[in-house]
Amino acid sequence: MYKASEKRYDEMIYRRCGKSGLRLPAISLGLWQNFGYGSSFENAENMCRTAFDLGITHFDLANNYGHPHNGSAEENFGRILKRGLGAYRDELIISTKAGYDMWEGPYGDKHGSRKYLVASLDQSLARMGLEYVDIYYHHVYDPEAPAEEIAVALDDIVKQGKALYVGVSNYNSKQTEEIYGIFRELHTPFILNQPSYSMLNRWVEEDGLDKWVCDHGIGLAVFSPLHQGFLTDRYLNGVPEDSRIGKGNTWLGDMLDDNMVKRLNALNDMAKERGQSLSQMAVAWLLHNPAVATVLCGASRPEQIVNNVGALKNLEFTGEEISRIEELLK
């Protein structure tokens, strides 16, 4: 039976989610890839246990993770909980999301309806063997669903004890502001927006979302911090055949031109000067933004999780370093 490391809280940094009472680990584990059907269960379990042993208490899922076998990541995570990790349930923050296509028919496609949100969470809880999740997100903005319907459904879910907090994902600042006003009237514990954000994808700054959440006491849980692997050492010499781009598993392949490779190598040189890998510097750079409560890092093996947590050893940036990064990112 799994027994967690007694030193799991020695090194991890925990950051408050906006003005809420909840603190999340600076680095969380995202289960989007490598945890669903067809993935090695033993490896998935080792990654979850490695993460928790390093103080990563937050595990982020969604109803459709494991696509095209939707729900398979939640099923595997449920097995991992039953095989020992669940003994630490009160030390875990488990989140899931609903919003993208999930099951057949008009009530299971891309949705923000009350019908979809309630049914989806019931399915997720059953797959994971849980009575509640800590955070439940609406996964993607739905222009056809009234913000009030989404907000009231999420508020009712909290009142029913099926979720402790709620959030939204892939909402811009204007969309977030609209639903925030309703949550505020309902006194719903709305604490997070989960957007994509990285050195190479800075739309949250251009949109003003990071400033907006700081002003309104909401946190950001950011995903794709390494820009689908660009901000690692994988592409410093071009495209390896076994990489995501080499396998055609990412939509970002066209970005990897000679100019991008040159830029990545310059950033890598700077990371070395800081005593970090490129991926560690990329994570540290995100945590330099006060809007970011946690960085959701994916992984394909336990060693990557260890490397990501190593970013916490150097989170400080001088003004000169920030200026150099800005120049390289132009």
Domain range summary for the chain, segments of one domain joined by +: 14-328
Name the DSSP letter for residue 96.
Answer: E
pLDDT for 238 equals 72
Q: pLDDT exceeding 70 applies to what percent of the chain?
A: 95
- pLDDT of residue 248 exceeding 60: no
Q: What fold does the segment set 14-328 form as a domain?
A: TIM Barrel (3.20.20)
Task: Give me the DSSP letters along 128-178.
Answer: HT-S-EEEEEE-S--TTS-HHHHHHHHHHHHHTTSEEEEEEES--HHHHHH
324 alpha-carbon distance from chain centroid: 27
Residue 43 vs residues 64, 162, 266: alpha-carbon distances, Å: 20, 29, 33
Of 70, 62, 59, 49, nearest to 25 by C-alpha is 59
Q: What average pLDDT score do residues 116-136 get?
A: 98
Name the DSSP letter for residue 247.
Answer: T
d(CA 67, CA 102): 9
pLDDT for 257 equals 86
Q: Is the dihedral of CA 159, 160, 165, 166 positive or negative?
A: negative
Query: pLDDT-based confidence at 177, cuts 50/70/90?
Result: very high
- pLDDT of residue 237 exceeding 90: no
d(CA 119, CA 103): 11
Look at 75 and 241; give whichever has higher pLDDT: 75
Query: pLDDT-based confidence at 245, cuts 50/70/90?
Result: low
Of 170, 171, 92, 100, nearest to 134 by C-alpha is 92
33 alpha-carbon distance from chain centroid: 12
- pLDDT of residue 156 exceeding 60: yes
Q: Which two tokens stand for residue 243?
A: 């990489």
pLDDT for 21 equals 97
pLDDT for 247 equals 52
- On whether the CB atoms of residues 297 and 307 are closer than 8 A, the answer is no
- On whether the CB atoms of residues 56 and 28 are closer than 8 A, the answer is yes
Q: What average pLDDT score do residues 10-25 get?
A: 97
pLDDT for 103 equals 94
d(CA 284, CA 112): 34
Q: What average pLDDT score do residues 112-116 get?
A: 97
Average model confidence (pLDDT) across the chain: 95
